């Protein structure tokens, strides 16, 4: 079961790297509406299952672990802190040194994940780790009711913030995508769904594939039409939209109920270093593209492959050094 989770964590990280590669280095600079631009928009939207899947797998993995085993709160929280925070503080510090930030309050960079645009993930997922014990209790007590309630909340939340961000997209945006992503309430349905589906009957694969196709088509057309209406690219392609919610739900179900049939030693290993890869991949992208200008020298598929390999390789080397240091110290 753990190997399955690792495999799809690796897939989710690859999708995140593709999103940041496409949105930061291709979509913004390519001619709007060209065939290449449209293909990259599709890649961006196909990859939008990434963070929702991460969140759902976190809930699923925790629920599977504590379905029958007792939950010792002291050991549980200590394990979450020691697993999550050391690598986070390392990469946040490196990024604060390397990436210009202008004037800022230092403690906010760490607490709110502002050392780089993707680090919102750590304070967000930490909120879920804190909330897991009471959420697990609620799911056990109310079962599907709490899942439906979370779905209704997230739908309403997306409708409200969707209207605000689109109105403010070309002005002084007070509710940015980063502010949305930082909050656990933005992703709460995925976390609860992962917990619930850890001990639920399988859904039909045909139904899940239908949900995926409808959600994906809706997501792509929604992004295209929203951009065409003058809304900023980042707002138009963000995670916090109803079509992404539908699409990601289908992907999560397919992974949880049918992903166990997939086996890969390589991806299982990549999943084990996926967290470190996620934290450091933006620095790798900056080096490859801003420093080396790789996107100007090679075809885009080759550049994307190099970016993915370089991100995982960097994480593998650092993880190995970290393990050797602990072995030496012990």
Considering only CA atoms, which of 241, 149, 126 is closest in space to residue 196?
A: 149
Give CA torsion, residues 83, 254, 251, 302, to 10 deg.
80
Tell me how far apart the alpha carbons of residues 94 and 116 are, in angstroms, rounded to a whole number: 10
Query: Residue 172: is its pLDDT beyond 80?
Result: no
Mean pLDDT for the stretch of residues 237-247 = 95
Helix runs in 23-143, H state only: 35-46, 50-65, 73-98, 106-111, 121-142
CA distance 73 to 162: 37
Q: Tell me the per-residue pLDDT of 45-56, one tens digit each, with 9 for 90 and over.
A: 999 999 999 999
Average pLDDT, rounded, for the chain:
88
pLDDT tens for residues 175-228?
677 788 999 999 999 999 999 999 888 999 999 999 999 999 999 999 999 888
Tokens of 278: 């996620």
Q: What is the pLDDT of residue 168?
A: 43
Q: Look at 326 and 178; give whichever has higher pLDDT.
A: 178
Of residues 191 and 266, the one with the higher pLDDT is 191
pLDDT digits (tens, 9 = 90+) for 2-47: 678 999 999 999 999 999 988 877 777 777 778 888 899 999 999 9
Q: Residue 169 has what pLDDT?
A: 43
CA 193 to chain centre: 16
pLDDT band at 329 (very low <50, low <70, confident <90, very high): low
Percent of the chain whose predicted confidence (pLDDT) is above 90 = 59
For the ranges 15-29, 33-47, 285-299, 316-330, the lowest mean pLDDT is seen at: 316-330
The confidence score (pLDDT) of residue 220 equals: 96
pLDDT top residue among 326 and 46? 46
Residue 289 has pLDDT above 60, yes or no: yes
What's the pLDDT at 147? 96
| 129-138 average pLDDT score | 94
CA 21 vs. chain centroid, Å, equals 14
């Amino acid at each position: 079961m753990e190997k399955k989770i690792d495999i799809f964590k690796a897939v989710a990280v690859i999708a995140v790297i593709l999103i940041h590669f496409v949105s930061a280095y291709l979509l913004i600079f390519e001619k709007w509406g060209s065939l290449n631009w449209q293909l990259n928009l599709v890649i961006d939207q196909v990859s939008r299952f990434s963070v929702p899947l991460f969140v759902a797998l976190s809930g699923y993995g925790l629920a599977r672990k504590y379905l029958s085993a007792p939950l010792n709160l002291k050991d549980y929280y200590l394990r979450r802190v020691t697993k999550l925070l050391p690598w986070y503080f390392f990469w946040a510090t490196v990024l604060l040194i390397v990436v210009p930030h202008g004037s800022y309050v230092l403690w906010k960079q760490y607490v709110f994940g502002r050392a780089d645009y993707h680090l919102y993930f750590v304070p967000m997922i930490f909120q879920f780790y804190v909330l897991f014990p009471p959420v697990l209790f609620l799911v056990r007590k109310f079962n599907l009711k709490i899942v439906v309630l979370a779905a209704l909340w997230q739908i309403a939340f997306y409708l409200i913030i969707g209207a605000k961000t689109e109105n403010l997209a070309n002005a002084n945006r007070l509710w940015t995508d980063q502010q949305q992503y930082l909050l656990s309430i933005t992703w709460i349905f995925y976390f609860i769904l992962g917990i619930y589906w850890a001990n639920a009957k399988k859904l039909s694969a045909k139904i899940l594939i239908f949900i995926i196709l409808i959600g994906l088509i809706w997501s792509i057309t929604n992004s295209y039409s929203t951009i065409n209406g003058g809304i900023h690219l980042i707002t138009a392609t963000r995670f916090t939209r109803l079509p992404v919610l539908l699409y990601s739900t289908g992907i999560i179900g397919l992974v949880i109920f049918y992903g166990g049939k997939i086996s890969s030693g390589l991806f299982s290993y990549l999943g084990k270093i996926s967290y470190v890869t996620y934290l450091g991949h933006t620095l790798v992208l900056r080096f490859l593209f801003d420093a080396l200008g790789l996107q100007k020298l090679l075809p885009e598929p080759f550049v994307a492959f190099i970016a993915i390999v370089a991100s995982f390789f960097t994480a593998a080397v650092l993880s190995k050094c970290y393990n050797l240091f602990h072995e030496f110290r012990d």
